[in-house]
């Protein structure tokens, strides 16, 4: 059977990206995606091998976007300014793209997802290395920052912040404390 006019793998993935941000990553199925594309489910198999391929592509897209946006907002910035800009962008990404962000934590066993995740980690490591973080401590520093930002984004998406203070101000405050603590440590491993 020949592929339907107007339906391409790129359109399928783009539609899946939009769908997961609106409905959630776990709601993505062949049936829901086919309905969104206004085609019969078997027609998708003319373009993709199955749901797994779509999920992997969505995960890669999420990680790639997070990395690219991080690079854009930190360009030309140094040290704390770069980390603060990245932190605000990261939390904003989680809030604006909840499905893509959720997808980014799936399928790490797939080569493409693992490579995209490593690319993002390398970018964050390059930012944090400006503070003189030792190689053996870098994983801990990156995990700490990631956990801090994940927490802000996740709690925000769950409507857990109800006070009048702006979330961005809280993110900046917490990241400044994180950076200050990191800089005050002579040996971060103890």
Q: What is the CATH number of domain 58-184?
A: 1.10.357.10
Q: For 76-104, what is each residue's pLDDT tens digit?
A: 999 999 999 999 999 999 999 999 999 99
Q: What's the rounded Cα separation, in Å, for the pair 9 and 47?
A: 5
In the prediction, which pLDDT does 3 show? 47
Look up residue 107 and give its two tokens. Answer: 């399928």
In the prediction, which pLDDT does 188 show? 47
In the prediction, which pLDDT does 73 show? 97
- Is the pTM higher than 0.75? The answer reads yes
In the prediction, which pLDDT does 5 show? 58
Q: Which residues of the chain have pLDDT under 50?
A: 1-3, 188
Distance from the first to the final alpha carbon of the chain: 63
């Amino acid at each position: 059977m020949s592929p339907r006019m107007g339906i391409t793998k790129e359109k399928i993935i783009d539609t899946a990206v939009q769908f997961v941000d609106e409905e959630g990553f776990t709601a993505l199925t062949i049936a829901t995606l086919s309905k969104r594309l206004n085609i019969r489910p078997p027609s998708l198999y003319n373009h993709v091998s199955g749901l797994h391929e779509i999920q992997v592509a969505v995960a890669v897209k999420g990680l790639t976007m997070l990395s690219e946006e991080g690079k854009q907002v930190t360009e030309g910035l140094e040290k704390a300014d770069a980390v603060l800009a990245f932190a605000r962008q990261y939390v904003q990404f989680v809030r604006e793209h909840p499905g893509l962000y959720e997808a980014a934590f799936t399928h790490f066993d797939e080569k493409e997802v693992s490579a995209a995740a490593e690319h993002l980690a390398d970018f964050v490591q390059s930012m944090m290395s400006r503070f003189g973080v030792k190689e053996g401590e870098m994983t801990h520093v990156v995990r700490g920052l990631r956990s801090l930002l994940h927490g802000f984004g996740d709690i925000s998406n769950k409507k857990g912040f109800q006070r009048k203070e702006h979330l961005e101000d809280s993110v900046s405050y917490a990241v400044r404390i994180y950076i200050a603590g990191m800089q005050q440590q002579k040996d971060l491993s103890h």
